[in-house]
Amino acid sequence: MVGSEEYKRNYLATFQDSTNTAIAFHLQGNPQNPAVANLALTTILRRKGRLLDVLAATASRLRSQLDASSQPQLDELIRLRTQIASLTFVRDRPPLASQISQLAQRANQLEAQLVSQNANFRLEVTPVTLGAVQQAIPAHAVLLEFIEYVPYNPKTNRWQAPRYALYALKNSGAPQWRDLGTVAEVNPLIKAARQGMADPRLPATVTKPSLKAAYERLLAPLESFLAGSTHLLVAPDGQLNTLSFEALVDRQERYLVQSYTITLLTSGRDLLRLQQRGKPANPPLVVGNPTFSQGSRRAGAGSQRGINPRSLDLRSLTFTELPGTATEVKALSTLLPQAQVLTGSDATETALKETQRPRILHLATHGFFLESPPLSSQVLQNTRGLNAYVPFGGENPLLRSGLALAGFNQRQSGVDDGVLTAFEVTGMNLDGTELVVMSACDTGRGDILNGDGVYGLRRAFTLAGARTQVSSLWKVDDTTTQQLMVAFYQNLAAGKGRSEALRQAQLQLINDPRKQIPYFWAAFVSSGEWRPLP
């Protein structure tokens, strides 16, 4: 599929009605028909997450198969993304809308030109069939494919209220499915569960009822189908992307993490992409405990890593160092003896972006996710130039997720500004990188686009080539995060799978009477490849 990301997104949007119709035809019209069920699930697997799949394949080819004559264009595209990000977060003045608009339009043009000028980019990604996806599901695992859909009523000739559905598939046998109810019914349950998970003040007696209510709606309808399985491959949709499924409570009053290894996917089609092995990578890179500046003030309460302001304006924000990251980096340098370690003033944005294809990339610092601001007339005027570049009605959502690096407070980090946005991450070369760990706050959050996942750091590192991402869904405690990460790497060194290594580290915290509530152990989730490191 040629053209820019915007062109691809608009093209795929033309299929949304037919996707909704296929699902509704099954769940609303023929719920007991196996052939119709297979058609609906096949449609979901072919459409959901397809944009990410295509973009990831295209980005990989840009990095590895680009004609020499096109390399200057790729270099310019990466520079433009850095310029857009730097202008967005400049300290002394707000950016000029016209300047950002021009840069965004030029980036859009370059992206389309690079793809159209290199014929090998037009190769289609691996064909997606129900059988191929089923064969890629490991033994003792279940794929849980959630989908938000809009049913059509042919009698009234109207689209009805959006609903959630769940399709479950094992590596053999027929799929199972359930309609889970309207979005208006389910989203309040998701919100209540998430609030309970992410609040350090609430004891388990207060949080468990909402976590159990979410389980009853989302997974209990297929509980018998899950029996005997030990691994859940969860592909959420809509607001389900904000949940840590590990913290849901089943009918035996157990957290799901106590019964299952859990891996997040954008869609079951990810399983086909993960079958393709990358090239050997370079030694690991550990970046942590950056020196933001002397005398900076903390940007959040207590020992939490992160911030959550309500607008795109970071100009007044400063960070202070995190003691836990220093301990974390020291421990990891022992567990990863071949790793290059960048700390203090050396942990710059420039040094990170110049690193090519580390086998493991660990980032221990402050993270941020900025909520989408209300679209006032002033915001619409200031961001109008980006409206044609992204479909979210405002600025590019990949500019609202990021990590703080050395020199952040003065916006001077090598030749960059110390604000590494997800937008800039997409220009990194991480082909062959097996694992990226974002040991910071809110690194798994972002804007949600139904059917295409979360637009944030996790998506950006996937586009850059990383096979597994470990990220957080809320603000995390500094000391506890350090403990979790050390245990995670110890489990990896013992040969455990990536998702299972995280699970065992979480179980270790649950066994600590001071850390038993989900706030401490459930924030970090593993997405992508789950198997042991090669």
Per-residue pLDDT at 508 exceeds 70: yes
Question: pLDDT tens, 139-161?
Answer: 999 999 999 999 988 788 888 99
Per-residue pLDDT at 80 exceeds 90: no
Regarding whether 460 and 439 lie in a shared domain, the answer is yes
Report which residue type is found at 57. Answer: A
- pLDDT value at residue 392: 44
Which structural domain range is residue 179 located in? 129-273
- pLDDT value at residue 390: 38
Per-residue pLDDT at 387 exceeds 70: no
Q: Measure the CA–CA gap between 288 and 316, rounded to whole angstroms.
A: 23
Nearest in space to 402 (alpha carbons), one of 394, 393, 411: 411
% of the chain with per-residue pLDDT over 70 = 87
Phi and psi angles of residue 10, each rounded to the nearest 5 degrees, phi first: -65, -40
- Residue pointed to by tokens 């970071």: 314
Of the given ranges (67-76, 258-267, 344-353, 493-502), which has the lowest mean pLDDT? 67-76
Three-state DSSP class for residue 17: helix
- pLDDT value at residue 189: 98
Regarding whether 293 and 242 lie in a shared domain, the answer is no
**Burial class of residue 335, CB neighbours in 10 A (0-12, 13-18, 19+):** middle
- pLDDT value at residue 381: 35
Regarding whether 363 and 222 lie in a shared domain, the answer is no
- pLDDT value at residue 53: 86
Please report which confidence band the pLDDT of residue 301 belongs to, taking 50, 70 and 90 as the band edges.
very low
Q: Classify residue 152: in a domain, yes or no.
A: yes
Domain boundary, last residue among 460, 476, 492:
476
Regarding whether 152 and 261 lie in a shared domain, the answer is yes
* 17 against 113, higher pLDDT: 17
The predicted model gives 98-110 an average pLDDT of 77
Per-residue pLDDT at 68 exceeds 80: no
Question: pLDDT tens, 107-131?
Answer: 778 777 776 766 555 555 568 999 9
- pLDDT value at residue 458: 95
Per-residue pLDDT at 300 exceeds 50: no
Per-residue pLDDT at 17 exceeds 80: yes
Per-residue pLDDT at 512 exceeds 90: yes
Regarding whether 144 and 269 lie in a shared domain, the answer is yes
pTM for this entry: 0.89
Regarding whether 391 and 244 lie in a shared domain, the answer is no
Regarding whether 367 and 228 lie in a shared domain, the answer is no
Question: pLDDT tens, 198-215?
Answer: 999 999 999 999 999 999
Regarding whether 268 and 312 lie in a shared domain, the answer is no
- pLDDT value at residue 132: 96
Q: Alpha-carbon Rg of the chain, whole angstroms?
A: 22
Based on the structure, what is the number of domains in the chain? 2
Regarding whether 295 and 267 lie in a shared domain, the answer is no
Q: Measure the CA–CA gap between 23 and 451, rounded to whole angstroms.
A: 13
Domain boundary, last residue among 273, 306, 333:
273
Of the given ranges (313-322, 429-438, 478-487, 512-521), which has the lowest mean pLDDT? 313-322
Per-residue pLDDT at 302 exceeds 50: no
Three-state DSSP class for residue 183: helix
% of the chain with per-residue pLDDT over 90 = 61
474 near 527, Cβ under 8 Å? no
